[in-house]
């Protein structure tokens, strides 16, 4: 049992770790190689979608195709493909291109606070005190992150900040929209098809064949890492971890994504973080820990 839990923890760390590394590699592609974010998003979704759909077909073809036998569910899948999957990918990479991977990934972690506010408005119920604390932490952390503690100045590009907020909103939609589909059909079919639909649509719209980056082993090796390790394998690792540990534990370990992205961007890309930004980042990421602690204390018998 302990070995299974340890395996789950390692997988839950490895998935977000690969996400964080791929974000850093993406910034390198944007800033140094001048690969278009539109091109990378299109290719990333397209190839990952193809591979995941093939993976699902090999595992259980009938389960992979089941969603297409129900018109209402297939329309919901198509809607999620654009508003959830494609939007979250696009806004995140635009936030990296307009700013840097560290702040983009940290701002994306505002999504738990946005979900709290949304659910409070939707249910017309005042949030719990622990939820109010999470929202305050997230807002204060955002202010420190983008102003360096000086409220009259913005210390990061406005575009990076706005795209980062967009990434947080789209990440919220990515979390909330497919809950029914995921419960009914499983995650592999829904994520695979939504990636494929988004990837095909983006590829045609942006005509990726007209914007191919010049070939070099560094460029296409980096692109391959972002597509294979930073998307498909990272997702599969994180998904497999849920077989051995609780979603609460996995969500806390998901903080390895911004931590790894921040560390690598400081070491390799020259991004600087002062004390106010660091404290702001800790506050934002701390909302995940606060929510996990609240979930555990509500049900203390839950295993790792």
Which residue in the block uniquely carries the two structure tokens 């036998």? 69
Kindly state the percentage of the chain with pLDDT values over 90. Answer: 49
Residues 244 and 25 sit within 8 Å (Cβ to Cβ): no
For 76, the domain range is: 38-99+157-207
pLDDT band for position 151 (cuts 50, 70, 90): low
Q: Is residue 2 part of a domain?
A: no
In a domain, 46, yes or no: yes
Residue 174 is assigned to a structural domain of this protein? yes
Cα 35 from Cα 237, distance rounded (Å): 27
Q: What's the total number of domains in the chain?
A: 1
Residue 68 lies in a domain: yes
Has residue 192 been placed in a domain?
yes
In a domain, 51, yes or no: yes
Using an 8 Å Cβ cutoff, are 222 and 25 in contact? yes
Q: Is residue 88 one of the residues assigned to a domain? A: yes
Q: Residue 132 corresponds to which tokens in the numbers above?
A: 């109010």
Kindly state whether residue 131 falls inside one of the protein's structural domains: no
pLDDT score of 300: 57
Picking from 255, 91, 258, the residue whose alpha carbon sits closest to that of residue 167 is: 91
SS3 category, 145: helix
186-205 pLDDT tens trace: 989 999 999 999 999 999 99
pLDDT tops 60 at residue 275:
yes
DSSP output for 169-237: HHHHHHHHTTHHHHHHH-HHHHHHHHHHHHHHHHHHHHTGGGSPPPP-HHHHHHHHIIIIIIIIIHHHH
What pLDDT, in 10s, does the model give residues 158-169? 899 999 999 999
Confidence (pLDDT) at 197: 97
Q: How far is CA 201 from CA 21, 46, 82, in A?
A: 26, 9, 9
């Amino acid at each position: 049992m302990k070995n299974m839990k340890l395996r789950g923890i390692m997988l839950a760390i490895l998935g977000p770790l690969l996400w964080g590394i791929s974000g850093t590699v993406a910034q390198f592609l944007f800033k140094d190689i001048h690969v278009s974010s539109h091109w990378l998003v299109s290719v990333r979704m397209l190839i990952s979608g193809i591979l995941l759909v093939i993976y699902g077909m090999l595992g259980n073809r009938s389960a992979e195709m089941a969603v297409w036998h129900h018109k209402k569910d297939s329309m919901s899948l198509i809607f999620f493909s654009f508003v959830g999957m494609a939007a979250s990918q696009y806004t995140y990479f635009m936030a990296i291109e307009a700013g840097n991977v560290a702040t983009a990934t940290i701002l994306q972690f505002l999504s738990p606070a946005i979900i709290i506010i949304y659910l409070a408005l939707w249910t017309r119920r005042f949030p719990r005190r622990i939820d109010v604390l999470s929202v305050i932490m997230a807002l204060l952390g955002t202010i420190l992150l983008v102003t360096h503690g000086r409220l009259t100045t913005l210390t990061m590009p406005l575009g990076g900040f706005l795209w980062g907020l967009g990434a947080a909103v789209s990440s919220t939609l990515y979390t909330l929209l497919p809950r029914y589909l995921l419960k009914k059909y499983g995650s592999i079919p829904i994520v695979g098809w939504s990636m494929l639909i988004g990837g095909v649509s983006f590829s045609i719209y942006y005509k990726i064949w007209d914007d191919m980056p010049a070939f070099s082993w560094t460029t296409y090796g980096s692109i391959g890492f972002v597509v294979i390790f930073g998307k498909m394998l990272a997702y599969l690792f994180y998904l497999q971890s849920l077989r051995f540990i609780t979603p609460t534990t996995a969500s806390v370990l998901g903080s390895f994504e911004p931590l790894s992205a921040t560390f690598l961007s400081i070491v390799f890309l020259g991004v600087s973080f002062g004390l106010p930004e660091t404290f702001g980042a800790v506050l934002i990421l701390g909302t995940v820990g606060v929510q996990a602690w609240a979930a555990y204390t509500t049900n203390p018998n839950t295993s790792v």
